[in-house]
């Protein structure tokens, strides 16, 4: 199946998860994430601001702050399809940006790629090998091309799929955390 059809299918599947299930699954995933050594050791975490039906990341950001970790969130440079990360110190330092997604305000401090310890990589679906179906912009494939540290994706088990069309530029993630398992690829 091609990526476009798969994206439509995955969105439809995720839309069937009701709010109580969404919250409970997200909580289980977050709890599993906090148990990972990669999480415990990380001082600076790059993460997206989730939009339903993606696994909730707002609670993860709160936890990171609670644990004195630095949090940085992406801004999409839509013309070049590139990402830049900025430090996030409060939720009120977000504004609606490209694609209607929350992005850091202009005043936020830019963060260098080298200083990030882990990137929580978003996606619609993942294979057991860590290959990922994104939202179609290829933003993370570009950003991860020269990123050498840990990458983790958070996924509902409904987002695990057996195969995906993989292209030369697709970069797999190292770890996938679902409500049932931790997959090291």
- For the annotated binding site for substrate, the residues are 49, 54
d(CA 158, CA 139): 23
42 φ/ψ angles, rounded to the nearest 5 degrees: -70, 135
For residues 86 and 131, which CB has a smaller minimum distance to Mg ion in the complex? Answer: 131
Secondary structure in 3-state letters for 129-166: CCCEECCCCCHHHHHHCCCCCEEEEECCHHHECCCCCC
For residues 139 and 156, which CB has a smaller minimum distance to ligand ADP in the complex? Answer: 139
**Count of other CB atoms within 10 angstroms of residue 119:** 28
Segment lying near Mg ion (by CB under 5 A), choices 64-72, 85-93, 106-114, 135-143: 135-143
The CA radius of gyration of the chain, in Å to the nearest whole number, is: 15
56 binding ligand ADP? (CB under 6 A): no
Give least dist CB 170 to Mg ion, A.
Answer: 4
Query: Binding Mg ion by CB under 5 A: which of 22, 141, 160, 172?
Result: 141
Query: Is 133 in contact with 174 (CB distance < 8 Å)?
Result: no
2 binding ligand ADP? (CB under 6 A): no
Segment lying near ligand ADP (by CB under 6 A), choices 61-69, 92-100, 106-114, 166-174: 166-174
Q: Which two tokens stand for residue 112?
A: 């260098």
Residues linked to residue 70 through DSSP beta bridges, in sequence order: 44
Query: Binding ligand ADP by CB under 6 A: which of 9, 138, 158, 172?
Result: 138
Residue 95 contacts which entry, ligand ADP, Mg ion, none (Cβ below 5-8 A, type-dependent): none
Residues linked to residue 120 through DSSP beta bridges, in sequence order: 152
d(CA 134, CA 136): 5
**Residue owning tokens 């931790």:** 182
**Max CA pair span of the chain:** 43
67 φ/ψ angles, rounded to the nearest 5 degrees: -90, 20
Give the nearest residue (CB) to ligand ADP: 138
Give least dist CB 179 to Mg ion, A.
Answer: 24
161 binding ligand ADP? (CB under 6 A): no
For residues 36 and 164, which CB has a smaller minimum distance to ligand ADP in the complex? Answer: 164
List of residues contacting Mg ion (CB under 5 A):
134, 141, 170
List of residues contacting ligand ADP (CB under 6 A):
3, 133-138, 141-142, 145, 167, 169-170
């Amino acid at each position: 199946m091609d990526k476009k059809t798969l994206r439509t299918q995955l969105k439809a599947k995720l839309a069937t998860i009701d709010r109580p299930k969404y919250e409970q699954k997200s909580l289980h995933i977050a709890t599993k994430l906090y148990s990972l050594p990669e999480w415990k050791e990380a001082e600076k975490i790059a993460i997206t601001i989730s939009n339903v039906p993606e696994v909730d990341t707002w609670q993860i950001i709160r936890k990171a702050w609670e644990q004195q970790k630095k949090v940085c969130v992406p801004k999409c440079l839509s013309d070049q399809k590139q990402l830049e990360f900025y430090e996030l110190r409060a939720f009120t330092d977000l504004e609606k940006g490209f694609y209607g997604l929350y992005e850091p305000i202009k005043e936020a401090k830019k963060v260098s790629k080298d200083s990030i310890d882990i990137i929580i990589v978003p996606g619609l679906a993942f294979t057991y090998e860590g290959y990922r179906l994104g939202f179609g912009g290829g933003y993370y494939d570009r950003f991860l091309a020269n990123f050498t540290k840990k990458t983790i994706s958070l996924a509902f088990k409904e987002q695990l799929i057996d195969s995906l069309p993989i292209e030369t530029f697709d970069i797999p993630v190292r770890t996938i955390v679902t409500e049932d398992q931790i997959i090291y690829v």
